[in-house]
């Protein structure tokens, strides 16, 4: 009997959707806007995250050692740093590689290369590039170096640590990223709440039109589940149809703006992102559409289900 | 048996719709309730259908006070009472067939029963050819015949017809009254509210006359006197 009731409810909901053409169309249009906002939030969040990750990856501390320091000593520092929980990675750059990088970087500046020829030997020491897991942890890594390697004293093996030079940039990045994450979360929540409210009101209007019908159903003795069911099914169909439309229309939209986003946001092409994450985005849009549509119908119909 | 026991209904604005109504309706009776607009006829019907609660008193349907029933049982009660209204109250987005089938579906009747009973009642009300029309494609008389078909399809114990002929011409009125008589002849209790003197005189059945929320006359084979 339960499966028979479910079958009848689904059939009735589908017929309601088809026969209430204008009402269904208006509900679907509003849900399309809601789901487009949701898709916009997904893409904005991806762009923001990608930008933040790109910015984070560009931050690092460079530790330059004196020329006389042996490779073994540098590798000891490297292993000490790698044991710190806040360190993501430590890259060892040998003396020879430092020299090579210097020559490549300054190949057009003869005045900077000439002293090397005069010296006749490599004046650079090895260096370490340290990346932290979080931007806020660079300061503690710097403090670790000061405490353990007597920086700025005569017996230090470390020549320079460029943390002070980058401190301002790192601090600013930290605050921008933190603000960006908070702002993004607030805007996302706000947009989602607003779009649900708009959808809820549209579906309420659609159900208001059917209020006499609901009254008749009450009078012939229909259970609340039997009255509510077809409206919830119709709401789910609004969501399903809107979601399919949105998923299709996102293809030309993302294709159109893809190259611009790649140029502006560290090579993230939203079209490529959409294609690569299609199943995940499809699931979010479909589930959200069906959920918002059916829950809105359920909430909207409750008002008309009075027996007395 | 239906029994109204000292039923009084006072609305929030202190309007007294019913005053101390005592009324007993036996099984298989055909009872007409007459009275001017605002006399309390529809309020009385609403009390029986548990659409509205009495301020005082009880409405008993087969030894159960309908206003003490839980929601689920109210629905079950309503499935035992077929209702017919002046404004037809059909489901506009369902065909004639689906409107009648809906009443059976809510009563959990299986599909094979629905597919055999609906054509049968459609034939009874002479609407077989309109089975797949929507209500807005029917005349007033046809809509009311659909409402009757929907009301009788579950073979209820009682049919409540609230001004069923109010929107109909004399010919359709005659047809509807004949159908109600036929239903009553088959053993179903019929409660009819009407303004129509011709209908009452034609029926020659029990007539209850209401005025200002009170029963002022109860004639076993009544006439329309106001």
Specify burial of residue B178 (Cβ count, 10 A radius: 0-12, 13-18, 19+): exposed
Measured over the CA atoms of residue A44, residue A50, residue A54 and residue A55, the dihedral's sign is positive
Read out DSSP for A219-266? HTT--HHHHHHHHHHHHHHHHHHHHHHHHHHHHHHHHHHHHHHHHHTT
User: A170: pLDDT confidence band, cut at 50, 70 and 90?
Assistant: low
Q: Which residues of A touch B89 (CB under 8 A)?
A: 212, 215-216, 219
Strand B30-34 vs strand B189-194: parallel, antiparallel, or unpaired?
A: parallel
pLDDT at A210: 84
* A207 C-beta neighbours (distance < 10 Å), count: 24
pLDDT at A306: 64
In angstroms, the separation between the Cα of residue A304 and the nearest Cα of chain B is 13
pLDDT at A165: 60
- Write the residue in A5, A20, A221 that is nearest to B76 by C-beta: A221
More confident residue, B42 or A162: B42
CB of A217 less than 8 A from some CB of B: yes
Identify the closest residue of chain B to A13 by CA–CA distance.
Answer: B93
Give me Rg for the CA atoms of chain B. 17
- Write the residue in B94, B108, B150 that is nearest to A1 by C-beta: B108
Q: Do B75 and A221 touch (CB under 8 A)?
A: yes
Q: Do A4 and B110 touch (CB under 8 A)?
A: yes
For helices A278-302 and A21-58, the axis angle rounded to 10 degrees is 130
Q: CA triplet A237, A238, A244: central angle to 5 degrees?
A: 85
Q: Do B74 and A307 touch (CB under 8 A)?
A: yes
User: A167: pLDDT confidence band, cut at 50, 70 and 90?
Assistant: low
Q: Which residues of A touch B103 (CB under 8 A)?
A: 220
Strand B189-194 vs strand B158-162: parallel, antiparallel, or unpaired?
A: parallel
- Write the residue in A8, A19, A221 that is nearest to B79 by C-beta: A221
Q: What is the pLDDT of residues B109-138, one digit of tens each?
A: 999 999 999 999 999 888 999 999 999 999
Measured over the CA atoms of residue B100, residue A218, residue A5 and residue B138, the dihedral's sign is positive
Q: Whole-angstrom Cα distance, residue B19 to residue B214?
A: 6
pLDDT at A184: 75
- Write the residue in A216, A221, A223 that is nearest to B91 by C-beta: A216
Identify the closest residue of chain A to B91 by CA–CA distance.
Answer: A213
Q: Whole-angstrom Cα distance, residue B168 to residue A145?
A: 98
What is the enclosing helix (H) or strand (E) of B207? strand B206-211
Q: Which residues of A touch B150 (CB under 8 A)?
A: 220
Using CA atoms, how far residue A123 sits from A108, A151, A307, B200, B205, in Å, is 20, 20, 92, 121, 123
Q: CA triplet B182, B186, B187: central angle to 5 degrees?
A: 120
Q: Which of B79, B153, B84, B146 is nearest to B113 (CA)?
A: B153
Read out DSSP for B145-170? HHHHHHHHTT--SEEEEESTTTTS-H
Using CA atoms, how far residue B29 sits from A6, A73, B46, in Å, is 39, 110, 19
Chain B: residues touching A (Cβ < 8 Å): 49-53, 71-72, 74-79, 83, 89-94, 102-103, 105-108, 110-111, 150
Q: Quote the mean pLDDT of chain B.
A: 89
What is the value of ipTM here, to two decimals? 0.81
In angstroms, the separation between the Cα of residue B151 and the nearest Cα of chain A is 8
Q: Do A221 and B105 touch (CB under 8 A)?
A: no
Q: Do A223 and B72 touch (CB under 8 A)?
A: yes
Contact B148, B84 (CB under 8 A): yes
A221, A226, A227, A305: best mutation site toward chain B, by most B Cβ within 10 Å?
A221
CB of A219 less than 8 A from some CB of B: yes
* B87 C-beta neighbours (distance < 10 Å), count: 14
Q: What is the pLDDT of residues A262-297, one digit of tens each?
A: 888 888 899 999 999 999 999 999 999 999 899 888
């Amino acid at each position: 009997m339960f499966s028979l009731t479910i079958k009848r409810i689904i059939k009735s909901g589908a017929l309601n959707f088809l026969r209430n053409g204008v009402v269904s169309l208006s509900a679907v249009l509003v849900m399309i806007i809601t789901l487009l906002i949701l898709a916009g939030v997904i893409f904005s969040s991806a762009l923001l995250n990608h930008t933040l990750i790109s910015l984070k990856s560009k931050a690092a501390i460079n530790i330059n050692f004196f020329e006389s320091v042996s490779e073994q000593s540098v590798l000891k520092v490297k292993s000490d740093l790698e044991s710190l929980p806040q360190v993501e990675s430590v890259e060892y750059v040998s003396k020879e590689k430092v020299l090579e990088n210097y020559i490549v970087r300054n190949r057009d500046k003869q005045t900077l290369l000439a002293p090397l020829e005069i010296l006749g030997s490599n004046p650079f020491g090895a260096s370490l590039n340290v990346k932290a897991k979080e931007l806020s942890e660079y300061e503690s890594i710097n403090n670790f170096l000061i405490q353990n390697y007597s920086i700025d004293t005569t017996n230090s093996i470390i020549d320079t640590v460029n943390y002070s030079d980058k401190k301002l940039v790192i601090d600013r990045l930290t605050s921008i990223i933190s603000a960006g994450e908070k702002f993004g979360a607030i805007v996302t929540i706000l947009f989602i709440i607003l779009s649900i409210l708009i959808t809820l009101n549209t579906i309420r209007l659609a159900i208001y039109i059917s209020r006499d019908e609901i009254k008749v159903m009450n009078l012939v003795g229909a259970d609340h589940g039997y009255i509510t069911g077809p409206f919830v099914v119709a709401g789910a169909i609004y969501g399903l149809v809107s979601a399919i439309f949105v998923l299709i229309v996102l293809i030309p939209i993302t294709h159109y703006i893809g190259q611009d986003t790649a140029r502006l946001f560290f090579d993230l092409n939203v079209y490529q992102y959409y294609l690569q994450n299609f199943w995940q985005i499809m699931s979010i849009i479909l589930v959200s559409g069906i959920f918002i549509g059916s829950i809105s119908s359920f909430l909207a119909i409750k008002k008309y289900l009075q027996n007395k | 048996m239906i029994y109204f026991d000292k039923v009084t209904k006072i609305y929030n604005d202190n309007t007294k719709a019913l005053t101390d109504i005592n009324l007993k309706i036996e099984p298989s009776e055909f009872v007409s309730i007459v009275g001017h607009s605002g006399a309390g006829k529809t309020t009385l019907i609403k009390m029986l259908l548990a659409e509205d609660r009495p301020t005082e008193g009880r409405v008993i349907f087969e030894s159960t006070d309908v206003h003490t029933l839980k929601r689920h049982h109210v629905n079950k009660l309503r499935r035992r009472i077929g209702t017919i209204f002046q404004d037809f109250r059909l489901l506009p987005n369902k065909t004639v067939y689906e409107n009648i089938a809906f009443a059976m579906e809510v009563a959990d009747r299986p599909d094979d029963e629905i597919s055999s009973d609906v054509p049968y009642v459609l034939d009874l009300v002479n609407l077989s050819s309109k089975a797949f029309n929507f209500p807005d494609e029917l005349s007033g008389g046809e809509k009311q015949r659909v409402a009757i078909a929907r009301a009788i399809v579950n073979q209820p114990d009682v049919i409540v017809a609230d001004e069923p002929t109010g929107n109909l011409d004399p010919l359709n009125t005659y047809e509807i009254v004949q159908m109600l008589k036929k239903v009553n002849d088959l053993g179903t209790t019929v409660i009819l509210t009407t303004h129509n003197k011709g209908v009452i005189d034609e029926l020659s059945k029990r007539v209850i006359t209401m005025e200002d929320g009170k029963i002022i006359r109860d004639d076993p084979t009544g006439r329309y006197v106001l």
